[in-house]
Chains A and B, each alone.
Chain A
Amino acid sequence: MESFDLLLGGFAAALHPAVFLVLAFGLVTGTVAGALPGISFVNAMAMALPFTYLMQPTAAMAFLGGIYVGGVFGGSISSILINIPGTPASLPACWDGHPMTRAGKPQMALRIALTSSATGGLASALLLTFAAPPFARFALTFDQPEFFAATVLGLVSVIAIAKEQPILSLLSMFLGMLIGTVGVDPLYGMPRFGFGQPMLQSGVNWIVVMIGLFAVAEVIDLICEERELRPKAAGGGSISFRGLWGLKNSILRGTGLGCMIGMIPGAGATVGAVIAYGVEKQASGKGARFGTGVPEGLAAPEAAKNATTGAAMIPLLTLGIPGSAATAIMLGAMILHGINPGPLLFTSDVSTVYTIFAAMILANLLMIVAALAVAKGFSTLMRVPPAVLGAFIIVLSVVGAYGVRNNIFDVYVCLFFGLVGWGMKRTGFPTAPLVLGVILGPLAERYFLTSLVNYDNDYAIFFTRPISGTILGLAVLFGLWSLWPAIQDLRHRRAGRTTPLDHTGRVPEDG
């Protein structure tokens, strides 16, 4: 009950006009930044940091929290409407969200995404409020082998999201992980694939690769296909409350996964969304139609992505361990304001903690309003000629790639991957595994090597530690489970050779 009283006090502080206003402002800023392809909410948070100097500590945290929550959702607006993920975590929203837009149902897609995200985010904020300290202690028992196992689970889910050809997806993923090794290695500080170029020593940043692969290639298609961006009917394809209620299982699964994954430092929203998509594909029973605009395929990753926001703040607040770039910026802001996150914070400055909790809950509620407003503005944007839109998306992508590290080299990398992405798209070579490889590969390497150094080069350590072994076992099961349709398909083909019945080579609908 004590925590309930504290939470009420937190709400009183968060509803103070000054705090509430910056929270709302942060939400809108974050949603817009998230929705603009190339400008991530992490950039927006870094830019907002100096402004927080002028604020009270709680207002500063509410502001950054608002940008965070709004930004994580905002990315899906552009995923759904123009098939360009505004932020990495919104990548899965392209797969089933954009096909809905193409089918003339953008409103329905946005509503599903918004409902799922808000549900996931709210659940996550409540989890943060009531379960933070015990969960944080549990997270501390995770060491490098466990992090490695969790990353492997993420990589396996890449195969799970692959549509039909696991070999091509695997190849794409390995290419991505190879690209991820370019630059200074994490342990020895030694440049790899550097070819003596100082630029290459800085490595290839995954945000830059993603912007190139998705934004540039999409814009080229935009002017070449003469595609109609305008929604066919105003407010096309609404969805009733009953329809949304029907998605409750998908949303619940996504929320649960997101909350768990969010607590693992380093995993974050992108991994959460991707794993949720992979799991949902298997669990919903509609796996074969995923990628054609299935509501479940949109609801689950959307819920998972926002469910990581509150969960990611658990290690931040209770241990001072930021799990992602966004929470690292929050840590920076907290230190600048004299708030030292850690177990001590829960005794020394408990009112601040509960104000942050309350702000996160409010942010997720207010997000619905902010997102609807931004989405409306974004739909209006769809009415401008595709050429105008395309030109500015490319400029924004270039600015976004540049802004990651304020480096012109990243612009070249981005445009190079634009070329590559266009080629891959034309030939039907899967691009998503490549991006995920670039994101997860370096994490996997770091965890793998540090584990070995810490445990006397014992390769068995990944299987003998109970948590790590369990996660790896799950990864193997998950891999087999998701490969099952492909294996069945293979058997079909074998059969097909003797009794020529099925030449389509497609997974049967019930698979």
Chain B
Amino acid sequence: MKAALGTFVAAGIAATAFAGGALAQDAYPERPIDMVITFGPGGGSDTMGRTAAHLAEKELGVAVPASNVSGASGNAGLTRVLTSPADGYTLGTLIALTVSSWAAGLGVGQPDQFDVVGVLQSSPSMLFVPKDSPHKSAEELLAFAKANPKALKVATSGFGTMDDVTLRYLTKQGDAMTNVPFAKPAERYASTVGAHTDAIYEEPGDVAQFVQSGDLVPVLVFADERHKDFPDVPASKELGLDISGLDNFRTIAVKKGTPPEIVERLHKVFADVTATQEWHDFCAKTYTCTENMSVEDANAMVETFYKKVKDLLAQPS
């Protein structure tokens, strides 16, 4: 048996040594590019990654197979990006939630380990109340929170996230609300739609169907300016709340150290992707259309976001 095994191993090594030597560096891309989706199937990152991969195939001329590598707030997938060679053949989705998890001390990532080749989606987060909520506006909601600290329950994605940071900021302003974390988005939505929680912190695209059906009513957008799709909803700045720059962005990133010409090529590809009609229809449906950003600006945006969440988390609550 040993002899037979040995023969196989020897044959294998001989064959691969020959093949390996003959490998040539052709023009990028010469083989399929892996798109690592850092969250499970069906979610916002998944639809973004798969749609982008599908549209990028036409631009790149090779297949861009998307695969879900989920776990640890997106860090499992990024670990895979980081352990693959920096040759532009492994792309990963990098989103705000994952960056905020680094700031909370989770995962192995740091902003300077990635080059962001495309900021594909971005949206501020908002507070929504259920259809039959007694609090019809942001003013009423905040006034109630002031009068009854911690009585209002807000459904969020967890402790130590942007959601948590925002609620902590509100607590400091005297508008204390209780953070009720739901790990699964569907359970989070159901809880507020079913009025088991008083409000939900979420980006509008993820709850679009509830907003359109009227089951969830937007009352406040955490940004300096109003959201163009929700002109009647006040921005936090109008109410004297200085909490912005925590937008939910979704980007495509490669490992730092990827040759600059490949980074530039990918940046151009994703700029073209976002310019297509298909993409426009997709982002309009999810309220996440954003402007094209250079690689430097995108990297800087991730860095700023990271620092901001880190600072806010470091402050005593």
Chain A interface (Cβ within 8 Å of chain B)? Answer: 42, 45-46, 49-50, 53, 140-144, 147, 183-184, 186-191, 198, 201-203, 265-266, 315, 319-323, 325, 328-332, 335-336, 338, 340-345, 405-407, 446, 450, 453-454
Which B residue's beta carbon lies closest to that of A147? Answer: B187
Shortest distance from the beta carbon of A164 to any chain B beta carbon, whole Å: 37
> B140-148, B207-215, B226-234, B293-301: which lies at the A interface?
B207-215
Min CB distance A483 to B, Å, is: 32
Say yes or no: A450 contacts B181, CB within 8 Å. yes
Q: Is the CB of B285 within 8 A of A335?
A: yes
Considering the chains assembled together, what is the distance between the CA atoms of A329 and B187 in angstroms? Answer: 16
Q: Which of B188-196, B251-259, B260-268 contacts A (4 or more CB under 8 A)?
A: B188-196
> Contacts A140-B193, A187-B159; is A342 near B215 (CB within 8 Å)?
yes
Interchain CA distance A189-B309 in the complex, whole Å: 15
B41-79 CB mask vs A (1 if < 8 Å, else 0) is: 111001100110010000000000011111111011001
C-alpha gap A140/B187 in the complex (Å): 10
Q: Shortest beta-carbon distance, B137 to chain A, in Å? A: 23
The answer to whether B104 touches A189 (Cβ under 8 A) is: yes
Q: How far is the CA of A18 from the CA of B178 in the complex (A)?
A: 51
A202-B71, A322-B186, A335-B285 known; A454-B76 Cβ under 8 A: no
Q: Does B184 contact A (CB under 8 A)?
A: yes
Q: How far is the CA of A42 from the CA of B42 in the complex (A)?
A: 11
Contact B107 A201 (CB under 8 A): yes
- Which chain A residues border B108 with CB–CB below 8 Å? 198
Residue of A nearest to B179 (CB): A453
The residues of B that contact A49 with a CB separation of less than 8 Å are 41, 50
Q: Does B187 lie within 8 Å of A332, measured CB to CB?
A: no
Interface presence of B183 (CB below 8 A): yes
User: What is the distance, in angstroms, from A140's C-beta to the closest C-beta of chain B?
Assistant: 4
**Residue pair A336, B51 in contact (C-beta under 8 Å):** yes
Closest 3 CB pairs of A and B: A202-B71, A328-B42, A186-B183
Would A454 and B153 be within 8 Å (CB), given that A265-B190, A344-B209, A446-B183 are in contact? yes
How far is A46 from B212 in the complex, measured between Cα atoms in Å?
27
Residues from chain A with a CB closer than 8 A to the CB of B190 are: 140, 142, 265, 315, 319, 321
* A332-B210 CB under 8 A given contacts A201-B72, A266-B187, A406-B69: no
- CB <8 Å contact, B72 and A184: yes
Contacts of B69 in A (CB 8 A): 405-407
Which residues of chain B are near A338, meaning CB under 8 Å? 281, 285
Complex partner residue of A186 from B75, B106, B158, B209, CB under 8 angstroms:
B158
Instruction: Judge whether B174 is part of the interface by a CB distance below 8 angstroms.
Output: no
Separation of A453 and B153 alpha carbons in the complex (Å): 9
Question: What are 7 contact pairs spanning A and B, CB under 8 A?
Answer: A140-B190, A142-B194, A328-B40, A335-B47, A336-B51, A407-B76, A453-B181
Chain A nearest CB from B107 CB (Å) reads 7
Q: In the assembled complex, which residues on chain B have CB atoms less than 8 Å from the CB atom of A141?
A: 194
Q: Is the CB of A198 within 8 A of B196?
A: no
How distant is the Cα of A191 from the Cα of B79 in the complex, in angstroms? 16
A46 partner residues in chain B, CB cutoff 8 A: 41, 68
Which residues of chain B have C-beta atoms less than 8 A from A406's C-beta? 36, 67-69, 80
**Pair B187/A202 contact, Cβ less than 8 Å:** no
Which of B's residues lie within 8 Å of A, judged by CB? 36, 40-43, 46-47, 50-51, 54, 66-73, 75-76, 79-80, 101, 104, 106-108, 153, 158-161, 178-184, 186-187, 189-191, 193-194, 196-197, 208-210, 212-215, 281-282, 285-286
Query: Which listed residue (B68, B72, B158, B180) contacts A183, Cβ 8 A?
Result: B72
> Contact between B158 and A405 (Cβ–Cβ < 8 Å)?
no
What is the CA–CA distance of A445 and B160 in the complex, to the nearest angstrom?
Answer: 19
A198 to B79, Cβ gap below 8 A? yes
Inter-subunit contact B41/A198 (CB<8 Å)? no
Residue pair A341, B209 in contact (C-beta under 8 Å): yes
Q: Which residue of A lies closest to B161 (CB)?
A: A189
A188 CA to B159 CA in the complex, in Å?
Answer: 5
Closest to B65 in A: A50
Out of B71, B79, B179, B186, name the residue touching A203 (CB < 8 Å).
B71
List of A residues within 8 angstroms of B214 by Cβ: 344
Q: Which residues of B contact A321 (CB under 8 A)?
A: 186-187, 189-190
Find the A residue at minimum CB distance from B53.
Answer: A50
Q: Which residue of A lies closest to B51 (CB)?
A: A336
Which residue in A144, A341, A342, A344 is a CB contact (below 8 Å) of B191?
Answer: A144
| Contact B215–A143 (Cβ < 8 Å) | no
Complex Cα distance, B123 from A89, in Å, reads 39
- Name the residue among A45, A143, A266 with the largest chain B CB count within 10 angstroms: A143
The answer to whether A332 touches B71, judged by C-beta atoms less than 8 angstroms apart, is no
Roughly how many angstroms separate A330 CA and B212 CA in the complex, as a whole number?
20
- Please give the distance in Å from A121's CB to the nearest CB on chain B: 22
| CA A407 to CA B214, docked complex, whole Å | 41
CB-nearest residue of chain A relative to B196? Answer: A143
CB nearest neighbor in A for B101: A189
State in angstroms the CA–CA spacing of A61 and B286 once bound together: 20
* Contact call A188/B160, Cβ cutoff below 8 A: yes
Report A435 CB to chain B, min CB distance, Å.
19
CA distance A345 to B208 in the complex (A): 12
CA distance A143 to B195 in the complex (A): 9
Known: A49-B41, A49-B50, A407-B80. 5 other contacts (CB 8 A): A50-B66, A266-B184, A328-B186, A406-B69, A407-B76
Q: Which listed residue (B41, B197, B210) contacts A325, Cβ 8 A?
A: B41
Are B159's CB and A189's CB within 8 A? yes
A407–B161 alpha-carbon span in the complex (Å): 25
Query: Bound complex: CA of A76 vs CA of B227, how far in Å?
Result: 51
Q: Which residue of B lies closest to A320 (CB)?
A: B209
Complex contact B158–A332 (CB within 8 A): no
Complex Cα gap A115–B314 (Å): 61
Q: Which residues of B contact A329 (CB under 8 A)?
A: 41-42
Alpha-carbon separation in the docked complex, A321 to B191 (Å): 11
* Chain B nearest Cβ from A207, distance in angstroms: 12
From B50, B76, B209, give the contact of A405 (CB < 8 A). B76
The chain B residue with its CB closest to the CB of A343 is B213
Distance in angstroms from B289 CB to nearest chain A CB is 16
Please determine whether A53 and B54 come into contact, CB atoms closer than 8 angstroms.
yes
A323 to B75, CA, bound (A): 25
Tell me whether A446 and B184 are in contact (CB under 8 A).
yes
In-complex Cβ contact of B71 among A42, A341, A405 (8 A): A405
Q: How far is the CB of A77 from chain B (nearest CB, A)?
A: 24
Q: How far is the CB of A380 from chain B (nearest CB, A)?
A: 29
Please give me the residue from chain A that is nearest to B67 by CB atom: A406
- Complex Cα–Cα for A76 and B215 (A): 40
Is the CB–CB distance between B196 and A454 below 8 Å? yes
Contacts of A330 in B (CB 8 A): 42
